[in-house]
Structure 1
Amino acid sequence: MKYLTISVLLLTLLSCGSTQKVTNQLQTGNYIEAFNTSVAQLKKGKTKKSNQKQLPLLQEAYTKAADADMQRIKSLQKENSPENLKKIYGIYLNLDIRQDEVRALQPLYYEGKEMVFNFKDYTKDIANAKEQYSKSLYTDAMANLKGGQLEARKAYTLLEDLLYINPNYKTNLDDLLQQAKNKGSSFVYVTLANKVKTISKDSIKDVTRINSANFNNPWVLYHTKKDHKIRYDYQVDITFDKLTFIPEKTQQQTVPQEAKVQDGWKYQLDANGNVMKDDKGNDIKVPKYTVVRAEVALYQQNKSSKLEGTVTIKDVKKKTTLSTQPIVGEAKFQNTYGKYRGDQRAIDQKYYKALQSKAVPYPKDYEFVKYSISNFKQKVTALLSQQQF
């Protein structure tokens, strides 16, 4: 019973808190926030006694939010800019949504009487606002599409917005969007010259595939096959010049180990050679230490490869070379293992991992080629991501 009383008291306090919150929001003119808070509370239980004070607050918030929205629409209509038309369309949608939220709660009763809310059919207003906003987006997009590269990018954004709100406004919106994308983009043609005979064609087929989705600029499009219908802005020439291997080699290092460790115990003697006693009369025992030694042999397996080349970036329209950068793609294999002889207790803990490892077979040459190419491509991608195409 005690817990039930506490629970009821807690719910009452929470309800009072939300009621006060709505009251404060109404007093400060935050009618939409007041409406949302009240709806959220009533969804938890519109017939609860603790929520009855929310009902007149909901009605007040609903009415004042609608009045404020209509006043804002009148103000925005004084200047039919695209931004204002977008806001008007959004406000009408919100007016309709709030009505639906109230309908979902109905019927609502306060002091024994069913509450009446003033509903309006916004269908025509929404359609008209949508039409005006769509027309504005389309008109601005077509005007920007007649401009240069930067204007085409703006047209693309406008057409994206139009497709989102009104995809059936025109039948050719997808074509216009692609046209804006093409006109607003910088096209980069990527080539690869492989001068290393030991690298097969299959090994390099993915080198020139640049995933521009990882870059910050979505307006740069990379092509590995030349499209003769496109006038390219830039060209990136990748060259593989030289592939070298550092052959398999195992290096050995011997590390002597020594430690002082406890080796049992002994009686503590006084100056006369007698066993000393503690306060309780027991013989005193002390640890006995001894020096132990061992020898750790560390082995390190090494093998690596290096792919050297260049990346040349050209401005095709200006017929100039912007830069030529050397690139080195590397692949390294290293494995450390160890053996020991002597007393294991003498060995430092930092050698434990090596002692638990074993010698492993060296990777094949083709694996080094694969990883050298991959590392080369990573560095090319990093270089291209820094370019202002």
Structure 2
Amino acid sequence: MMIKAGFMPAFFVENLWELFLHGDVYTSDTPKFTTMRTFTILFIVSLLIAGCGSTTKSLQQGNYDAVVNKTVKKLIKKPNADDAAEMDRAYRLANERDWERIKYLKTENNPDNYDEIFSRYNMLKERQRQVRTVTPLTVEGTTYSYEYVDYDAEMIASKRKAADFFYNNGKGLLDNALQKGDYRDAYYQLVKASEYSGGQFENIDALIYDARMKGMSRVIVEVNNLSPLQLPPMVEEDLISFDTRGLGNEWVEYHFKHVDENAIYDYAILVKLMSILVSPDDVKDTDQIFTKKISDGFEYVLDANGNVMEDTAGNDIKLQKFKEITCTLIETRQFKTVEIRGEVEILSMNPDRLIQKEPFGASNQFEHSSARSIGDEGALTEEAFNMTQVEKLPFPSDVDMVMMCAETIKPAIRNAIYANRQYIQ
């Protein structure tokens, strides 16, 4: 049973009062099981009241559709008098509010109102559809049934009038636009007209496309290499081949090549490479000597007379011989670095002015170790021997070093653009 806030059924109050009259509350003489029973009952009561309060609170706040939705779901599972009453109240209040609003909007006679009028009729229709899934309903002697209302004619009429309004308004904005924002407003109005018209306007797709194209801000992104190191075009293109998602909005379009020489750009982003510092090829050799004692056969043990001594079994006595072997490991370390510094300039093309500068930078390095040995490799440890299996590599060229740095520099450039994306509208 649903308990409404501020209300308890009489039988529930009587039972609860009986509980307290018979002393099922905590005293020094109260048995523990009785105290626990009292606590459990009070806890259940609080849960019931809290659960019921949610729909009542929604009603008080005017969230009628939320109450209708919740109570209908509960009534589908299990019909209940309190839920039915809550649904009925919320349904009537929601309909009353929508009808009053529709009446006001029609009386105002503003063409801009038909969009909301259509939405209100749509809400009435959907609410009616929802309630009809559980009505007519009879619980505890009360029947809940509502007369069916056909909203289609009013919806169609308001939809057509809304379409006319959005079409005329959008076309007027398009014809008299002075700036990007006007074209964008026209686009939204025409899209709305298209949604409502159902093919009523033959040229609307062309108008939407025109508004879209004229409302778009186009950005050309280019590399300007000011360093002494000349880079192939493909390397410069690779530096700015990054993901543009998140850099703008639906009205910003990034170009990385002049796809059309006659294209008019609203913004330019210049990625200026101010300095590219590539270090000389650096080679360093370090030596390490390894020694090891290994078996070198055996020798006989001689007595004072120079004769071979024998053990008690008559066998010749001999001792194992050892010798020391040496190997020199020459480790070669190759090292080369690149550091790129620059700045991102954001320029407005109309009017022609610098909007913002943002510095960026990145670095990378080439490092390789190899080794060769002189002497007996048997003296080497396993790790040292494995190093001798690595060969020396040719140093990358300066351009190769820049290409190696590309994957580091691209996020730096993108982050610089992202940090200033608010300037591109």
TM-score range, shorter chain: 0.5 to 0.7
Instruction: State the AA in 2 paired with 1:232.
Output: Y
Per-residue deviation, 1:28: 6.8
Aligned positions of 1:276-295 closer than 5 A: none
Which residue does 2:326 correspond to in 1? none
Q: Matched residues, percent identical?
A: 25
User: What is the match of residue 328 of structure 2?
Assistant: none
Q: Deviations over 1:165-195 (max 9, x none)?
A: 5563434444333322322233233333567
Question: 1:154 is aligned with what amino acid?
Answer: D
Alpha-carbon displacement from aligned partner over 1:128-161 (angstroms, at most 9, x marks no partner): 2222222222222222222122211222233344
1:69 maps to: 98
Find the partner of 1:205 among 206, 214, 237. Answer: 237
Alignment partner of 1:105: what SS? coil
Residues 1:188 and 2:216 aligned together: no
Distance in 2 separating the partners of 1:183 and 1:367: 42
Q: Which moved more, 1:90-99 or 1:154-163?
A: 154-163
Cα pair distance change 1:225/1:55, threshold 3 Å? same
Q: Which residue of 2 aligns with 1:260?
A: none
Q: 1:331 aligns with which of 356, 361, 364?
A: 364
Confirm whether residue 121 of structure 1 aligns to residue 154 of structure 2: no
What TM-score do you get using the length of structure 2 for normalisation? 0.58
Q: Per the alignment, in what secondary structure is the counterpart of residue 190 of structure 1?
A: strand
Given the superposition, is the C-alpha separation of residues 370 and 187 from structure 1 closer, same or farther in structure 2, using an over 3 Å criterion? same
Residue 132, structure 1, aligned to residue 161, structure 2? yes
Find 2:71's aligned residue among 38, 53, 73.
Answer: 38
Q: Distance in 2 between matches of 1:248 and 1:172?
A: 69
Deviation at 1:77, TM superposition (A): 2.2
2:134 maps to 1:101: no
Which of the numbers 187, 198, 201 marks the counterpart of 1:170? Answer: 201
User: 2: distance between equivalents of 1:210 and 1:167?
Assistant: 40
- Equivalent pairs counted in the alignment come to 313
CA apart distance, 1:217: 4.7
Q: What amino acid does structure 2 have at the position aligned with 1:152?
A: Y
Question: Residues 330, 53 of structure 1: CA spacing in aligned structure 2 closer, same or farther, 3 A cutoff?
Answer: same
Cα contact 1:59–1:117 (8 A) shared by 2: no
Question: Are 1:193 and 1:238, in contact at CA under 8 Å, matched by a contact in 2?
Answer: yes
Report the counterpart of residue 215 of structure 1 in structure 2: 247
Gaps in structure 1 of 5+ consecutive residues:
1-6, 253-299, 336-357
Q: Does 1:380 align with 2:410?
A: no
Give the one of 52, 58, 63 matched to 2:81.
52
Change (3 A) 1:308 1:55: closer
What is the DSSP-based 3-state SS (H/G/I as helix, E as strand, rest coil) of the residue aligned with 1:78? helix
Q: Deviations over 1:58-89 (max 9, x none)?
A: 23332332122111111122335576333222
CA contact (8 A) 2:112 2:165 kept: no
For 1:343-354, list aligned pairs within 5 A.
none
Code of the residue aligned with 1:377 in structure 2: it is K
- Determine the structure 2 residue equivalent to 1:156: 187
TM-score after normalising by structure 1? 0.62
Please name the residue that 1:231 is paired with. 264
Instruction: Report the 3-state secondary structure (helix = DSSP H, G, I; strand = E; otherwise coil) of the residue aligned with 2:245.
Output: helix
1:39 counterpart letter in structure 2: V
Q: Check whether the contact 1:193–1:239 (CA below 8 A) recurs between aligned residues.
A: yes
